Structure 1
Amino acid sequence: MTNTSATDLAALLCSRLCHDLLSPVGAFANGLELLATERDPAMRENCMALLEQSATISTNKLKFFRLAFGAAGGFGDRVPAEEARDLIVALAADKGRIETEWAVADPTLAKPVVKLLLNFAQIAADALVRGGTLAVGAERRAGNCEIVVRASGPKIAFDPILGAALDGTLGPGELSSRTAAAHMIHLLAREHGGGLQHMASGDALVLGAVLPEGEGLIG
């Protein structure tokens, strides 16, 4: 198991967030530069569309990161389930060619559950390199909260090192900005007395978590 300080983990997560935001923010800057010099009405309209798209993507990413990695101030101990659903739908739309299915009946979710759902969704969406379906579900069963995210499509790309991060078995030097989020939710599940599971094949990736009911979907 890798041994990393909280400061190092925070730095790696920040690196990941900056990397993910660089593209839409860069596109926004390019759009502003073009708008400042362009005089053709049709081209200016295209610039405005680019700015609007980049602003929407950047805003959605920031909202996603706030709940997936941050303290999510303003929500209290619980988060509306529709907030998590909308962020996952936006994530899938940004990736393109991914359909989402939502199977969570409870109106609110505990923050640990939301963090697990969002991080699972990001890992699963990244695995759908040729598009497919992203199914998200959570329910209470036998005194626990069970969380399942399934990615299914024509090709699944899941690096075993991410599996090691979810298992908490990363070796020395294997914790990076790419594996930091998976390692973080491993620590989160362990902190709350739960555990994570994963199973990958050529056309499906299943990510699961079990948390004690006290950290689950009690609304």
Structure 2
Amino acid sequence: MPKNPNLTLEGPDLAALLCSRVCHDVISPVGAINNGLELLDEGASDSDALDLIRTSALNAAVRLKFARLAFGASGSVGASIDTGEAEKAAKDFASAEKKTEVTWNGPRAIVAKNRVKLLLNLFLVAYGGIPRGGSIDVTLENPEYDARFIITIKGRMMRVPAKFVEIAEGTLEEPVDAHTIQPYYTVLLAEECGMDLRHVVSEDKIVFIAEARPT
């Protein structure tokens, strides 16, 4: 059982809140597709409307593919995932908004599903730490065994998402909702994978680390 006192959600509540998170992520680009179609109906420039539709459709597709790996089953229970898929999902996710550059270092490997999900969810936490854009450097060390994931962010107005810290430290006082479910899920995955989470803040960067607990 998880030791963190904040990790108390039952399965149905966890699933419902994760579904809300996914819907929140895709409703904006899907709504923009609808706006583009309305512009066509109103006789607006075909090229402008089609550009909006294409961009929004790509954004929605990228977000859904990312969510499938980060939140979904992605295969049977106990399945493994190629870290190359995670790399593509992360880079496509960032490139869709064109404000953050992602670099990825480390061996490509077939890794336990929950570890890859942890990696992608920690990536989301880190991504949220540079709301004005910047750079994210992802490094995988020994991902198949005593894994260590290091995600470094740089950018304007850097910050460590406050709710992530509260949940990780077990000090969150309010109930988990659709806005806090993603950092909650990150901490839960770390517990399930037997990995510790920490972060280091310096003047020019923030480093998020997930590493296997010593046995």
Is TM more than 0.5 here? yes
* Aligned counterpart, 1:145: 147
Structure 1 gaps of 5+ residues are: 214-219
Q: 2: distance between equivalents of 1:65 and 1:203?
A: 30
Task: Extract structure 1 runs of 4+ deviating beyond 4 A.
Answer: none
Partner of 2:105: helix, strand, or coil? Answer: strand
**Is the 2:125–2:161 Cα contact (8 Å) retained in structure 1?**
no
The answer to whether residue 7 in structure 2 is matched with residue 5 in structure 1 is no
Partner of 2:131: helix, strand, or coil? Answer: coil
1:75 offset after TM fit, Å?
Answer: 11
* Aligned counterpart, 2:201: 200
Q: 1: distance between equivalents of 2:171 and 2:13?
A: 15
* Aligned counterpart, 1:52: 54
1:193 offset after TM fit, Å?
Answer: 2.1
In structure 2, do the counterparts of structure 1 residues 171 and 122 end up closer, same or farther at CA, with 3 Å as the change threshold?
closer
**Is the 2:82–2:110 Cα contact (8 Å) retained in structure 1?**
yes
TM-score relative to the length of structure 1: 0.84
* Aligned counterpart, 1:93: 95
Partner of 1:109: helix, strand, or coil? Answer: strand
Q: Quote the RMSD (CA, aligned, Å).
A: 2.4
Q: Percent identity between the aligned chains?
A: 33
1:74 offset after TM fit, Å?
Answer: 7.7
In structure 2, do the counterparts of structure 1 residues 172 and 116 end up closer, same or farther at CA, with 3 Å as the change threshold?
same
* Aligned counterpart, 2:72: 70
Q: 1: distance between equivalents of 2:91 and 2:13?
A: 31
The one-character-per-residue Cα deviations of 1:72-107 (angstroms, maximum 9, x if unpaired) are 138982222221111111222233321111012124
In structure 2, do the counterparts of structure 1 residues 96 and 157 end up closer, same or farther at CA, with 3 Å as the change threshold?
farther
Q: 2: distance between equivalents of 1:188 and 1:178?
A: 17
The answer to whether residue 37 in structure 2 is matched with residue 32 in structure 1 is yes
Partner of 1:177: helix, strand, or coil? Answer: coil
Q: 2: distance between equivalents of 1:63 and 1:75?
A: 19
Q: How many residues align?
A: 208
Q: 2: distance between equivalents of 1:209 and 1:72?
A: 21
Partner of 2:208: helix, strand, or coil? Answer: strand
The one-character-per-residue Cα deviations of 1:101-134 (angstroms, maximum 9, x if unpaired) are 1012124333122111211111111211232210
The one-character-per-residue Cα deviations of 1:118-171 (angstroms, maximum 9, x if unpaired) are 111111112112322100111128x6111111111232133322112234x143
The answer to whether residue 119 in structure 2 is matched with residue 114 in structure 1 is no
Structure 2 gaps of 5+ residues are: none
The answer to whether residue 141 in structure 2 is matched with residue 136 in structure 1 is no
**Is the 2:58–2:96 Cα contact (8 Å) retained in structure 1?**
no
Partner of 2:148: helix, strand, or coil? Answer: strand
Partner of 1:127: helix, strand, or coil? Answer: coil
Partner of 2:128: helix, strand, or coil? Answer: helix
TM-score relative to the length of structure 2: 0.86
Q: 1: distance between equivalents of 2:77 and 2:39?
A: 39
